[in-house]
């Protein structure tokens, strides 16, 4: 396919659902070959990409499992030996009052959101350094800035993602650009649990634009960060959030 990313290979974690699925579709529309990495089947995403003429393949992984992440990159080396774009998107949310949050809840959440971002990011950056550079996009959350009652561990994990983003941006400049996305509430299974009740939509959409986001609106920001239009940006956080947090 032609497009700003034609000839490039992109890896998207958490590509089976929600924001990751939308980002994978959008990168493929720009011409990138997209590797779909999820702990669940991403076959539906793959079918949608192929149906619109895009190029894709699946590589199942649990991003918190170091051996599985190393296997993913071994497969990538054997099949392509190049990586231009990483979207570190896989994440989970555990909402509980702090006083009911166990150490295993903390470990389970950090294993995906922070350790997973670290493991996949480290291996992707290793490949990009050995190749001809690249772009990394880490998916954080507006909650890293705002905080949220009953979600402090999630918020802390996303604060860690933002902090790693800035350090990686400094460590790997100028050949590799590393930026973050901090979406506001977005209509995905993580937010709605499959039910978009008017109460949920009204509560989550309490921002100047008066609504929650669509996955495609977050994907548009990812395409911007992945492509040449953001060539003078690194270490930044782009925040499609309806204006809930302003910087
Ligand atoms: N939806 C929102 O309102 C919102 C807002 C801000 C940030 N985010 C962030 O956006 C990202 C995507 O969230 P979403 O809303 O699309 O959620 P989602 O639940 O729809 O999708 C998450 C995907 O990640 C995958 N995943 C989970 N754990 C994994 C693991 N260990 N290894 C590999 N894959 C794994 C899931 O299988 C799923 O396909 C997350 O990092 C989330 O924290 C979401």
CA 131 – ligand 1 centroid, Å? 28
Atom of ligand 1 nearest to the CA of 213: 3
> What pLDDT digit, counting tens, does each position of 80-100 carry?
999 999 999 999 999 999 999
Q: Are 30 and 5 in contact (CB under 8 A)?
A: yes
Confidence (pTM): 0.97
Look up the CATH superfamily of 9-238.
Answer: NAD(P)-binding Rossmann-like Domain (3.40.50.720)
Confidence class for position 2, pLDDT limits 50, 70, 90? confident
> What pLDDT digit, counting tens, does each position of 192-204 carry?
875 667 777 778 8
pLDDT of residue 144: 97
Q: Is 145 a catalytic residue?
A: no
What is the CB < 6 Å shell around ligand 1? 13-14, 16-20, 38-40, 61-64, 89-92, 112, 116, 139, 141, 183, 185-186, 188-191
pLDDT of residue 203: 82
Q: Where are the domains of the chain?
A: 9-238
Q: How far apart are CA 40 and CA 57, in angstroms?
A: 14
Q: How far apart are CA 58 and CA 12, in angstroms?
A: 10
pLDDT of residue 195: 62
Choosing from 118, 145, 154, 172, the catalytic residue is: 154
Other CB atoms within 10 A of residue 93 CB: 17
CA 190 – ligand 1 centroid, Å? 7
Per-residue pLDDT at 171 exceeds 70: yes
């Amino acid at each position: 396919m032609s497009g700003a990313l034609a000839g490039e290979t992109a890896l998207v974690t958490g590509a089976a659902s929600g924001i990751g699925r939308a980002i994978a579709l959008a990168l493929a529309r720009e011409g990138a070959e997209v590797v779909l990495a999820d702990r669940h089947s991403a076959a539906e995403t793959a079918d949608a990409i192929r149906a619109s003429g895009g190029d894709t393949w699946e590589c199942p992984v649990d991003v918190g499992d170091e051996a599985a992440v190393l296997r993913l990159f071994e497969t990538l080396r054997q099949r392509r030996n190049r990586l231009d774009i990483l979207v570190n998107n896989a994440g989970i949310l555990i909402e509980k009052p702090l006083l009911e949050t166990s150490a295993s809840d903390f470990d389970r959440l950090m294993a995906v959101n922070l350790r997973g971002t670290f493991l996949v990011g480290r291996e992707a950056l290793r490949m990009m350094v050995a190749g001809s550079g690249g772009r990394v996009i880490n998916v954080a959350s507006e909650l890293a800035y705002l905080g949220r009652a009953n979600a402090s561990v999630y918020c802390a994990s996303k604060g860690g993602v933002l902090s790693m983003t800035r350090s990686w941006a400094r460590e790997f400049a100028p050949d590799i650009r590393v930026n973050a996305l901090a979406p506001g509430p977005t209509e995905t299974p993580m937010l709605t649990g499959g039910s978009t009740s008017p109460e949920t939509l009204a509560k989550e959409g309490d921002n100047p634009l008066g609504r929650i986001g669509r996955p495609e609106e977050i994907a548009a920001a990812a395409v911007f960060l992945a492509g040449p239009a953001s060539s003078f940006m690194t270490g930044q956080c782009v925040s499609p959030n309806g204006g809930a947090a302003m910087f």
